[in-house]
Amino acid sequence: MAQISNLRIDPRSGFCSSNSTFYSKRTPFPLPSNHCLDITTFISSYPHHGKTAFIDANTGRHLSFSELWQAVDYVATCLSDLGIQKGHVVLIIAPNSIFFPIVCLAVMSLGAIITTSNPLNTPREIALQMVDSKPVLVFTTSQVVPKLARSSVRIVLLDEQVINTRSEAKIVTTIDQMIKKEPTGSRIRDRVYQDDAASLLYSSGTTGTSKGVVSSHRNLMALMQLFSILVNPDEGEQTDICTVPMYHIYGFGAFAIGKLTTGSTVVILSKFDMNEMLAAVEKYRVTRLPLVPSILLALVKGADQIQRKYDLSSLQSVVCGGAPLSKAVVNGFLKKFPTVHIRQGYALTETTGFGASINSLEESRKCGAVGLLSPSLEAKIVDPVTGVAVKVNQTGELWLRGPSIMKGYHNNVEATASTLDSDGWLKTGDLCYIDDNGFVFVVDRLKELIKYKGYQVPPAELEALLLSHPEIFDVAVIPFPDYEVGQYPMAYVVRKTGSNISETAVMDFVARQVAPYKRIRKVAFINSIPKNPSGKILRRDLIKLATSKI
């Protein structure tokens, strides 16, 4: 990173004309100088006055900070007894629970790598991820165990439900048994360094199919420092509710581990349900609520009925991320909930949750912006055609560089090289501009991801699946705009000669093999898929065709 003190940086925008780089206007944070340090030890060293770390909204079970760290120590010892060592990959496939952070922290404390998967994924999707990540142990629930029928990997159950005899052969213990097993003697730990891999979360990257994002202990330390400096003592004690999945960078970084640095209490919902969420806000006097735009919209639409049924007076702020938030939705929310601030943000799995954010009431008045650049982060806005970095208020692809940028994509040198350049710049695939005051605005996406209720849906994965159908000759999947969910996958299908496959048959074929949020929800038949000379699908042409009929 360049020595900022030697550069002539515009204090308003953060732009330096000598190197066409934007610098964060936020105060930079230090990172520990001790290179031999793991993220779990780092988090446990944060001073705070918090008492309750986690509350399970379903069971009412409370976990104090001291109970949490004892559980982490006990589970880490059991993992060591099971032969888990530095560099091993451990998979957790489970809904949000009070055990999720315990498992993640215990695994990373040993220098092992935690990887996560959506419990709604199909056996096929889980198998593909396991082939890529090669886990030596899986933490999961009894409901998910049947999806692992073809795997021989050992299993630790996160619940006590009885499983069929065939599955029991792979179950080595349960999380409750681990937590109750007091360590005996001393165990030898491998030396863990800041640059070692800590997590392997799957993302669709800038294009194409899902890829494993390797984040180091240092990357996660940067995220922890970000959370710690955002604490506003004037806000008093804070209670957050985790409505977002912990297998995603948002839930993993912010709620499974991030809030432990601040002493906040996190109320955990195992799955999203609007009424359960609102009841938990009332019962536990939640002050901060993380949402995606589609849920925020639902709150606006049902505000009058919601406010009659639930006491939401404890809410101070709503944090919205995962997809762009329109000005109309923001204004609608503020009209219905005038005492609640909206804080938007922009981040990627590849940036370990860094990007830009709105951190104050004054900043939230900047309509349309996703915020100021995160601390210690640099940005460039690069013309996607010429490759030249542009200036303030000019649109181009957002490139980011800083201490939170991933190590790379797991076992994918080609994808890493196309996303990370030799100087450490990460190409986000998002078209953005940065204004005179340093605020980041997301205009469009160069990348081809579809955002369904904040979930990432890679078109290439669905296209590959559809092309396996014997009656489909060619296909293209595009995002179709929807007011309720943001976008949903739409397929343009070229039938094989003689085929009369229907729209319903196409949708059902996909639905049987993918998670619910990836399902095709609209089908149109076409004579040929428009492509450029190199064979790349001209999605923008298809999007124009689809939306021209709205």
* For range 422-435, the mean pLDDT: 94
Provide, rounded to the nearest whole percent, the portion of the chain with pLDDT above 70.
93
How would you class 348 by CB atoms within 10 Å of its CB: exposed for 0-12, middle for 13-18, buried for 19 or more? buried
Contact between 490 and 478 (Cβ < 8 Å): yes
Q: Pick the more confident residue, 332 or 508.
A: 508
Extended beta strands in 89-196, E state: 89-93, 113-117, 137-140, 154-157, 171-174
- Give the 3-state secondary structure of residue 60: coil
Contact between 460 and 208 (Cβ < 8 Å): yes
Q: How confident is the model at residue 27, as a pLDDT?
A: 92
The CATH number of the domain where 525 resides is what? 3.30.300.30
Contact between 390 and 381 (Cβ < 8 Å): yes
Query: What single string gives the DSSP state of each residue in 487-547?
Result: EEEEEEEEEPTT----HHHHHHHHHTTS-GGG---EEEE-S---B-TT--B-HHHHHHHHH
- The model's confidence at residue 536, banded by pLDDT at 50, 70 and 90, is confident
The DSSP 8-state label assigned to residue 256 in this structure reads: I
279 vs 212, 284, 306, 328, 377, CA distance in Å?
36, 9, 10, 27, 38
Contact between 79 and 106 (Cβ < 8 Å): yes
Q: How confident is the model at residue 234, as a pLDDT?
A: 66
Q: Pick the more confident residue, 349 or 445.
A: 349
Q: How confident is the model at residue 454, as a pLDDT?
A: 81
Q: How confident is the model at residue 136, as a pLDDT?
A: 98
Could you report the per-residue pLDDT of 34-81, keeping only the tens digit for each?
A: 999 999 999 999 999 899 999 999 889 999 999 999 999 999 999 999
Provide, rounded to the nearest whole percent, the portion of the chain with pLDDT above 90.
71
- Give domain status of residue 166, yes or no: yes
- Give domain status of residue 81, yes or no: yes
Does residue 7 have a pLDDT over 90?
no
Tokens of 321: 């991320």
Q: How confident is the model at residue 469, as a pLDDT?
A: 93
Q: How many structural domains are present in the chain? A: 2
- Give domain status of residue 98, yes or no: yes
Structural domain containing residue 533: 450-547
What are the residues whose beta carbons fall under 8 Å from the beta carbon of 233, sequence distance 6 or more?
none
- Give domain status of residue 438, yes or no: no
Does residue 451 have a pLDDT over 90?
no
Could you report the per-residue pLDDT of 452-482, keeping only the tens digit for each?
A: 988 878 888 899 899 889 999 999 999 999 9
The kind and range of the H/E element at 39 are: helix 39-44
Does residue 165 have a pLDDT over 50?
no
- Give domain status of residue 35, yes or no: no
Closest CA to 319 of 296, 351, 350: 296
544 — phi, psi (to 5°)? -60, -40
Of 100-104, 180-184, 431-435, which gets the smallest average pLDDT?
180-184
Could you report the per-residue pLDDT of 183-203, keeping only the tens digit for each?
A: 776 667 789 999 999 999 998
- The model's confidence at residue 331, banded by pLDDT at 50, 70 and 90, is confident
- Give domain status of residue 170, yes or no: yes
Give the span between the Cα atoms of 110 and 103, in whole angstroms.
11
Q: How confident is the model at residue 297, as a pLDDT?
A: 80
Query: What's the chain's average pLDDT?
Result: 90
Could you report the per-residue pLDDT of 369-401, keeping only the tens digit for each?
A: 899 999 999 999 999 889 999 999 999 999 999
Residue type for position 361: L
Give the span between the Cα atoms of 253 and 65, in whole angstroms.
18
Strand partners, 71: none
Q: How confident is the model at residue 64, as a pLDDT?
A: 97
Pairing of strands 378-382, 396-401: antiparallel
Tokens of 127: 């198998």
* For range 268-274, the mean pLDDT: 92
Does residue 1 have a pLDDT over 60?
no
Q: How confident is the model at residue 445, as a pLDDT?
A: 73
Domain boundary pick from 158, 181, 203: 203
Domain boundary pick from 203, 223, 252: 203
The CATH number of the domain where 183 resides is what? 3.40.50.980
- Give domain status of residue 105, yes or no: yes
Does residue 173 have a pLDDT over 70?
yes
Give the span between the Cα atoms of 118 and 514, in whole angstroms.
11
Question: For residue 504, how far is the Cα from the chain centroid?
Answer: 31
The kind and range of the H/E element at 431 are: strand 426-434
Q: How confident is the model at residue 416, as a pLDDT?
A: 95
Give the span between the Cα atoms of 285 and 280, in whole angstroms.
8
- Give domain status of residue 32, yes or no: no
Domain boundary pick from 203, 230, 262: 203
Does residue 104 have a pLDDT over 50?
yes
Query: Given the structure tokens 């209490």, which residue do they identify?
Result: 265
pTM of the complete model: 0.86
Strand partners, 371: 440
